[in-house]
Structure 1
């Protein structure tokens, strides 16, 4: 069994920091009450972020969304994997993500740290998986109209 941790994206960490900072540094009427509420919320986010991990064995991909929640996906049921930056809520702590389509209508979005190795491991088990890459963009592609 190979284990992968989630990729932590600066964009999500900065967003969460800005949200929490706005509560801490912007004066509020009931600042003491708000601070008491903020501590459990911060601990909850840490709990969720630190609990995200993935594992691949010879039959399944297991997505651990937190310390208590996990989803098992049979590798044989995976139809395609698409690179995405979809910001929907998912067990992924980065916007550099993979969307896994499995069964007939199911999908899940993840962000493993070693994406290429993760894909290689899945393709070794199920070579029928279609991998859809994002087009590579460079700094000049926006300038060329």
Structure 2
């Protein structure tokens, strides 16, 4: 099994964390009652932890039986049969997916399906896919 860690774009992560942290700091700056501050903190801090966890736990595995396993924490798990992959294209499309960076690859498979991924080593990832399925075409930008 070959594993590829996801590339993390702090340009995506930091604004989200700032917004969530702002939701905690705003009541403090407004001198809101302590109960409101604690309520916001008890909601937002776990959300921040979950966002961090999802960003940092995303990875892509190529199994011995020719499957691409995509996981992002315990919330997202997806399997793609590599023999069904037709092409891989470099993209910066911000569409939601298991890619915590805008430096992404769109993996097209079957007839109409695709998933975006952001492996740290894109070329090694593409080569690993092509070892399993030499028909995978890289349509870089």
**Equivalent residue in structure 2 for 1:101, among 90, 104, 108:** 108
Gaps of 5+ in 2: none
Which one is further off, 123-132 or 63-72?
Answer: 63-72
SS at match of 1:88: coil
The TM-score with structure 2 as length reference comes to 0.85
User: Between Structure 1 and Structure 2, how many residues are aligned?
Assistant: 134
- Give the number of the structure whose residues are more often helix, by fraction: 2
Please tell me the root mean square deviation across aligned C-alpha atoms, in Å: 1.7
1:89-119 CA distances to partner (integer Å, 9 max, x unpaired)? 1111111001111011111111011111001
CA distance in 2, matches of 1:21, 1:65: 23
Question: 1:1-145 to 2 correspondence within 5 Å?
Answer: 1-26=1-26, 27-28=29-30, 29=32, 30-58=36-64, 59-134=66-141
| Gapped regions of structure 1 (runs ≥ 5) | 135-145
TM-score (norm 1): 0.83
